[in-house]
Amino acid sequence: MHNGQLTFFGGVGESGGVQVLYGKGEQAVLFDFGVEHSSLLFPKQLTLYEPVGATPGRELRQFLLGGMTAPLPELYDPQLIQTLDMAKVRHSWGDRDFPHYEEIRLFIGHMHTDHMAVLPYANPDVAVYMNHDTHSLYRGMVEGGHTPDTAARITVCDDLSVVNFGEFTMQIVEMDHNATGSAGIIIDSGDHKIAYTGDWRRQGKHPERIDRFIELCRDKQIDLLITEGTRLAADPAADLPSQMTEVELLSQYADIVDEAGGLIYLQMSPRDLERMADMIAIAVEKGRKVVMEASHAVIWHRANRECLRILEAHPALGADIQIVDATVTDRMQVPYKTISLEEIAERKNKYVYFYKFPDLAHMIELETLGDLQGSSHFIQSDYSVKLDHADVAKYLKTFGITGHSLCNGGHAHPDAIADMIERIAPQAVITLHSRHPRSQNTKGIHAYFPQKGETVEVTSILASALPKDM
Domain harbouring 172, CATH code: 3.60.15.10
One domain, residues 172 and 275: no
Give me the number of domains the chain comprises.
2
pLDDT interval class at 142 (50, 70, 90): very high
On the question of pLDDT at 466 being above 80, the answer is no
Distance CA 44, CA 59 (A): 9
The answer to the question of residue 28 being in a domain is: yes
- Mean residue pLDDT of the chain comes to 93
pLDDT tens by residue, 158-192 = 999 999 999 999 999 999 999 999 999 999 999 99
One domain, residues 317 and 375: yes
One domain, residues 167 and 280: no
Contact (Cβ atoms closer than 8 angstroms) between residue 5 and residue 146: no
Percentage above 90 pLDDT, the chain: 87
Residue 302 belongs to a domain with what CATH number? 3.40.50.10710
One domain, residues 132 and 155: yes
Residue 48 confidence (pLDDT): 43
Distance CA 126, CA 105 (A): 6
User: Cα-flanking dihedrals φ and ψ of residue 122, to 5°?
Assistant: -70, 150
The answer to the question of residue 241 being in a domain is: no
On the question of pLDDT at 43 being above 90, the answer is no
Which residue, among 183, 154, 198, 147, has the nearest Cα to 302 in the 3D structure? 147
Write the CA distances from 401 to 83, 262, 385, 455, integer angstroms.
53, 9, 17, 53
pLDDT interval class at 384 (50, 70, 90): confident
On the question of pLDDT at 144 being above 80, the answer is yes
One domain, residues 287 and 214: no
Q: Which amino acid is at 294?
A: A
Count of C-beta atoms within a 10 Å radius of residue 70: 26
Distance CA 94, CA 140 (A): 39
From 405, 431, 448, the end of a domain falls on 405
One domain, residues 399 and 419: no
Residue 1 confidence (pLDDT): 43
The answer to the question of residue 375 being in a domain is: yes
pTM of the model: 0.94
Count of C-beta atoms within a 10 Å radius of residue 358: 15
Distance CA 341, CA 70 (A): 46
Distance CA 173, CA 357 (A): 33
pLDDT tens by residue, 80-129 = 999 999 999 999 999 999 999 999 999 999 999 999 999 999 999 999 99
The answer to the question of residue 436 being in a domain is: yes
Residue 331 confidence (pLDDT): 83
From 387, 405, 423, the end of a domain falls on 405
Residue 38 confidence (pLDDT): 63
On the question of pLDDT at 371 being above 90, the answer is no
Where in the sequence is the domain holding 26, given as residue range(s)? 5-236+411-463
pLDDT interval class at 13 (50, 70, 90): confident
Distance CA 202, CA 211 (A): 9
The answer to the question of residue 469 being in a domain is: no
One domain, residues 230 and 103: yes
The answer to the question of residue 13 being in a domain is: yes
Residue 42 confidence (pLDDT): 53
One domain, residues 274 and 223: no
Residues 240-262 have a mean pLDDT of 95
Scanning 286-389, the segments in alpha helix (DSSP H) are 294-305, 341-346, 362-368
From 355, 373, 405, the end of a domain falls on 405
One domain, residues 191 and 292: no
One domain, residues 200 and 253: no
One domain, residues 378 and 450: no
Residue 332 confidence (pLDDT): 85
Packing angle of the helix pair 273-285, 294-305 (nearest 10 deg)? 110
3-state secondary structure of 444: coil
Residue 203 burial (CB < 10 Å; 0-12/13-18/19+)?
buried
The answer to the question of residue 229 being in a domain is: yes
Distance CA 144, CA 343 (A): 24
Contact (Cβ atoms closer than 8 angstroms) between residue 31 and residue 445: no
Count of C-beta atoms within a 10 Å radius of residue 136: 26
Distance CA 85, CA 103 (A): 22
One domain, residues 357 and 220: no
Residue 39 confidence (pLDDT): 63
The answer to the question of residue 468 being in a domain is: no
